[in-house]
Amino acid sequence: MFNKKQQTERVMNKHVIYLFTLLIVSTPLVLTAQKSFHDFTVYDINGSEFDLSQLEGKKVLVVNTASKCALTPQYRDLEKLYREYGKNYFVVIGFPSNDFARQEPGTNDEIAAFCQTTYDISFPMMSKITVKGEGTHPVYKWLTESSENGLEDSKVSWNFQKYMIDEDGTLVGHVAPRKKPYNKEIISWLEKNDEAGK
């Protein structure tokens, strides 16, 4: 038989072991916590590193773009949206992609020249990437897989699909390619908390 002191020690030891086990089991969960959009570094259209953490505090609209698509004129409204809501609170980021009907065949230099001369684009354009299938860029894996973004699984269905990212780097949702930049869902998101900087 154990005396009272020994029983107390046994109970305490059990608690210590339990807490220690809990700590060991939960550590991997902490280490594999959900990534944020701001955790990525990409390359801009000129080949320079672009750290997405510099966008903290801004809403971000991520768009996969193409120069030879029926939806290419959306560039005009994307630029207008950026100029209207941008300032310090919102930014559009374009990721050129040749994944759909090879409608972005150009080099980064050619894409940059097209955006500048045709639509006078001033929002950040990134280097051309793959947004679906084998070789999908890590940013688009994050955007399209719930295990990565913590919100939803989605499929990039065509050029000009739009992903909405909040100020803290969390995914809010996405808007289909044929829905234009001034779609009600995007405008409501931008104006949600009066920080759109209009």
Which residues form the catalytic set? Answer: 69
Got the DSSP string for 16-46?
HHHHHHHHHHHHHHHHTPPP-GGG-EEEBTT
d(CA 170, CA 175): 16
Plot region of 3 (φ>0 → left; ψ -120 to 50 → alpha; else → beta):
beta
Give the 3-state secondary structure of residue 68. coil
d(CA 114, CA 57): 30
d(CA 15, CA 13): 5
